[in-house]
């Protein structure tokens, strides 16, 4: 998961890519649904959510989907469990907060991706980038499902995109938020529950999201 260097004057960035967040790994029929989603659109990464905080089977469950994900050229990350990355054959982990990032970096670097969300302030985001996060994430819900107002998330993405080279992920809680995050400058758009709960199916949802990723042409 990389993005080209940029500056505040760089208005010609590539369109963002999708970052797919799975339901808990014990969700019924996940493998088939995941394959349908990945075949429907260009996805940069899949974030695998463990079934439970102390589920001892997470490594086996990640191993079960890893070939399907990685053979499509998609990075496979594990949520909040960096120690499981190497035994599961994953490509990296996503953690929340600076303390968790500090603990994860010695486990993951230099060979694996370390992503960081749960960043409550601009200072925390800059600290994560300075410490070595491969990307920062804005807008993901906390464990209770709460997050900042969407306008504040867009503002944070815009600020980051204009000033920093480390890629950022904007979390879209629905398809209605995808275009705004793309326009704000997110390098990746994260989608989770809307993909798996929409009656149209995950492939149709991913295709609809991909159609919104084109950035507007800069004014001449």
Domains defined along the chain, listed by start: 17-210 (3.20.20.70)
169 forms bridges with which residues in the sheet?
137, 188
Nearest residue to 96 via CA among 83, 115, 77: 115
Task: Report the predicted TM-score, pTM, of the whole model to 2 decimal places.
Answer: 0.92
How many CB atoms are closer than 10 A to CB 60?
12
* 87 contacts 61 by C-beta, under 8 angstroms: no
DSSP, res 60: H
* 49 contacts 21 by C-beta, under 8 angstroms: yes
More confident residue, 217 or 212: 212
* 169 contacts 182 by C-beta, under 8 angstroms: no
| C-alpha 119 chain-centroid distance | 14
pLDDT in tens, 32-78: 999 999 999 999 999 999 886 667 789 999 999 999 999 999 999 99
Nearest residue to 82 via CA among 74, 91, 70, 73: 91
* 47 contacts 217 by C-beta, under 8 angstroms: no
How many CB atoms are closer than 10 A to CB 88?
22
How far is CA 68 from each of CA 34, 40, 75, 78, 177, rounded to the nearest angstrom?
A: 9, 14, 11, 15, 28
* 194 contacts 208 by C-beta, under 8 angstroms: no
pLDDT in tens, 84-113: 999 999 999 999 999 999 999 999 999 999
Q: What are phi and psi of 121, to 5 degrees?
A: -145, 165
pLDDT in tens, 118-167: 999 999 999 999 999 999 999 999 988 899 999 999 999 999 999 999 99
First to last CA, the chain: 31
pLDDT above 70 (res 9): no
């Amino acid at each position: 998961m990389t993005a080209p260097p940029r500056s505040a004057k760089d208005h010609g960035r590539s369109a963002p890519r999708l970052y797919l967040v799975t339901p808990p790994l014990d969700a019924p029929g996940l493998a088939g649904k995941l394959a349908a989603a990945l075949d429907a659109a260009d996805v940069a990464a899949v974030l695998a959510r463990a079934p439970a905080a102390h589920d001892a089977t997470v490594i086996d469950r990640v191993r079960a989907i890893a070939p399907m994900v990685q053979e499509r050229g998609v990075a496979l990350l594990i949520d909040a469990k960096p120690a499981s990355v190497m035994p599961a054959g994953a490509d990296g982990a996503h953690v929340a907060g600076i303390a968790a990032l500090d603990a994860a970096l010695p486990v993951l670097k230099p060979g694996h991706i370390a992503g960081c969300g749960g960043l409550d302030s601009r200072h925390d985001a800059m600290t994560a980038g300075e410490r070595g996060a491969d990307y920062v994430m804005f807008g993901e819900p906390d464990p209770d499902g709460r997050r900042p107002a969407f306008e504040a998330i867009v503002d944070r993405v815009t600020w980051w995109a204009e000033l920093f080279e480390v890629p950022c992920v904007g979390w879209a809680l629905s398809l209605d938020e995808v275009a705004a995050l793309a326009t704000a400058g997110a390098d990746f758009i994260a989608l989770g529950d809307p993909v798996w709960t929409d009656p149209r199916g995950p492939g149709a949802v991913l295709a609809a999201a991909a159609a919104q990723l084109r950035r507007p042409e800069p004014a001449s």
